[in-house]
Structure 1
Amino acid sequence: MKVAIVHDWLTTWAGAEKALAELASCFPQAEIFTTVNFLASDELPALKGRVIHTSLIQRLPFARKHYRRYLPLMPLAIEQFDLKGFDLILSSSHAVAKGVLCDPGAVHICYCYSPMRYAWDMQHQYLRQTGKARGVASWLMRWQLHRLRQWDFISAQRVDHFVAISHYIKRRIARCYRRDAEVIYPPVQVERFRHDRPRDEFYFTASRMVPYKRIDLIIDAFNRMPDKRLVVIGDGPDRARLSAMAGPNVSVLGYQPDDVLVDYLERARAFLFMAEEDFGILPVEAQAAGAPVIGYGVGGLSETTLDGITGLWVAEQTSAGLIERVRQFEQRRRSEPDAFSPTACRQSAERFATANFRRAILSLVEQHLNR
């Protein structure tokens, strides 16, 4: 069987790329197709030795730094890949990968992280963040996003079977594409973490520092709880602003290597997460490390944590809501020393182990190929 795996772009090694690596491990003979690949060979250990095909965008001026500016060209670029002769196409998609043109006899399964957020429900936020909410440039951008939505919907109809990373995304796929989807949660390397280390007296969060992650809410909450300590790891466009607003009880450490991140997860009293996320790997990694999660109980977090058992859900995306739940968390820990146990957290995280992901993907592919 000839297999192609199509990924949007390879510019960083994050959650989608970790899922791509596991998909590739399921199909050792698969060839990889992507619009651009700007990762060094040592950043792609999981894809070492693979044939990786790139699109015309790879060779365009300034693409390495500004590949996102070529988004209007990406639908055309992804459709130029020649997949004739491939029996199985797996697209790993949050943007354009699902739009490849396949042989009529091929089976195309899309592992979908989300419909294109900036073209659908996050369009207005995207325009504000890029400084194009008003004026002539705004209307040009709105027209481009309108055309992108049209292509996104049409290209979704080429997919034979959708797989969503969460039930939250399954509903978004139904709303945007009018398509049903099965749910297979992304893989998390839970075996990397120990859950039996002593817990320290600090709370912890880690994230890319961009507005929708709502690190500002977490810092504001702890500024108003000066008797509690918060440690923040992460980097991004918002880092300077977030560092400036942090009080003396809040330590913003910026980017840290993976072993430091693991160490903090294994020792934290609890992990905090206030983003409305499609899935969210870090809350699962926190539970794998034995840390309960206190976070906004919408989106993926409502599927990956067990309210009252491996953490507490915050009802409103506000600092006041987080403060209330942190206080309830501490009261419960005082009255029930065994509440939110590291063992319960680890057992919850095991649901998302890489072995489970591989079994589910292989079973689904076999099921659809044999129809």
Structure 2
Amino acid sequence: MEVVARQMLLLHLALSRPESMGVHEKTELFLEVFGNSELRSQTEEALHQVARQLQRCVSEQEMETRGVLDAALLKFKERDQLFRIFQQWVRSSTPSISTSWDARLRQHLGTRYDSRGGCFDWDLAMKLHQKGGGVISKQQYFRWRERGFAFEMREGIYNRTNATLLSTRVLPHRADKVAVRGYWGDMVSSPYISFGIESQDQSLLRTQNGTHVKTAQDISFANVETLFQALSSRWRSTHPESNQEPVNTEGLMNVGGVTVSFLPMDSLSKLPEKKKYSKFFHTIYCSASLSHQITPSLKQISSPGAVLVMELARFLLELNKEQEESFKHKVFELAGAAGFEPWTQQEDDSHAIFSLNGEGMTSEAQTHV
């Protein structure tokens, strides 16, 4: 549930109203929480404020009033877990993430730990740069691999643990099992691939003497800021008198009447059994780690012409080219068995796009995702 809690947090930050936080400040806050293992004290305080608001969002008292982030469909147990996670984020007794990060790094590299600089350089030059991440600089990538620190947009002291990156795993210990709280996320690909290696603004990708003028951090900031500006502009266009509008309990922008509804963790296999979700979803996105969930039953909950977007293994750097290509073939097999056909010519090697029966998604149908 820690992943769900973090998604709720990032959505809350992205949809916060312009009068509560400017776009520039929001972008800095979002990227810091998104990609840094340690935060500034100001960011930690903002995180605590949002966590308290999210506690109210998932509490039983607020279930009657569904907002932009709707947790009403989650099980009682799951909402209780979310409440406890948000409560943990607010506590000042959060363990240091630097120790956890180093332990994960030692576990990942094993005997190569003492020569980790060479490992970092190989992963960057021979993997990330070869896969389109040439804008990621050595200095920034090494800093992230060593400390989990991706974005430094302001001078300051980054010494507060980013509690949203910590989660609990049950691990075997001697003849028993113990719950261990630590960092269990990505140690290789980096946060830069999400927002920092592509842009519609080609000036951000300009090179001079074979070196990129802008860094992955610069591009990440520009892309996220543009996204937030677009959200604010669209919201303002539909709420010209927003200052006089009653503020919902979340204090979030309701852009185009869109609601993000969170479903139970085990819901995908059960949705086809419910009449409510028959031919319901117009767009379905599936990450590479959940590709095995694409089964023929998916057709039952997909509307006519529904679009299926599946993440490929481009940035799973532990895979070689043969394994990456094999994964791609497997994705096409799974989609085909579920009744989906390739929608258009596949030009993006990060994702594969399919549509039900090979039909394109109409503009009127872009409703349920």
Fold conserved between structures, TM > 0.5? no
User: Which structure has the highest helix share of the two?
Assistant: 2
TM-score between both structures, scaled by the size of structure 1: 0.25
- Greater RCO structure (CA 8 Å; 6+ sep): 2
Q: State TM-score, norm by structure 2.
A: 0.25
